């Protein structure tokens, strides 16, 4: 079994990937958030269908989120873990208040191991690590 400390790396990696343009989540997610008036979207990466329930249907977001989930599994595997090794894997997206365009999101990640250990990471849309706000979410 790989060291659980490697889950900190997994948490940081998925936050960076999700906040980057490589995930292609942002324009769609922000459109969906704006349509509902919600300020934050929660994506459950342990769910087979990680589409946030608080958002209305969006034509491209389900595919982007499924790809994000697949990438998460690849990151886990590269560190020696399986998705079944976690009790929680959630991403929280919110518009990045530093930028006015409708493309930038912050991504806050929270992973939990069945032992009770939690891992947090947060990244703004420019890839800079920021203080995670997840201890209260």
The model's pLDDT over 52-86, given as tens digits with 9 standing for 90+, comes to 888 878 888 888 899 999 999 999 999 999 999 99
In a domain, residue 30? The reply is yes
**Mean pLDDT to the nearest integer, 105-120:** 92
In a domain, residue 1? The reply is no
Task: Say yes or no to pLDDT of 7 above 50.
Answer: yes
Domain membership of residue 16 as a residue range: 6-136
In a domain, residue 127? The reply is yes
Euclidean distance between CA atoms 24 and 70, whole angstroms: 13
Give how many domains the chain has, as a whole number: 1
Q: What is the 3-state secondary structure (H, E, C) of the chain?
A: CCCCCHHHHHHHHHHHHHHCCCCCCHHHHHHHHHHHCCCCEEEECCCCCCCCCCCCCCCCHHHHHHHHHHHHHHHHHHCCCCHHHCCEEEEEEEECCCCCCCCCEEEEEEEECCCCCEEEEEECCCCCECCCCHHHC
User: Which segment of 19-23, 99-103, 112-116 scores lowest on mean pLDDT?
Assistant: 99-103
In a domain, residue 115? The reply is yes
């Amino acid at each position: 079994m790989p060291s659980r400390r490697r889950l900190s790396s997994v948490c940081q990696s998925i936050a960076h990937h999700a906040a980057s343009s490589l995930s292609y989540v942002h324009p769609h997610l922000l459109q969906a958030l704006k349509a509902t008036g919600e300020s934050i979207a929660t994506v459950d990466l342990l769910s087979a269908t990680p589409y946030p329930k608080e958002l209305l249907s969006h034509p491209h977001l389900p595919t982007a989120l499924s790809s994000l989930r697949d990438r998460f599994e690849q990151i886990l595997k590269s560190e020696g873990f399986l998705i079944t090794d976690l009790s929680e894997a959630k991403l929280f997206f919110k518009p990045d208040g530093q930028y006015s365009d409708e493309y930038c999101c912050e991504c806050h990640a929270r992973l939990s191991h069945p032992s009770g250990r939690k891992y947090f990471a947060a990244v703004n849309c420019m890839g800079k690590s920021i203080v995670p706000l997840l201890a209260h979410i």
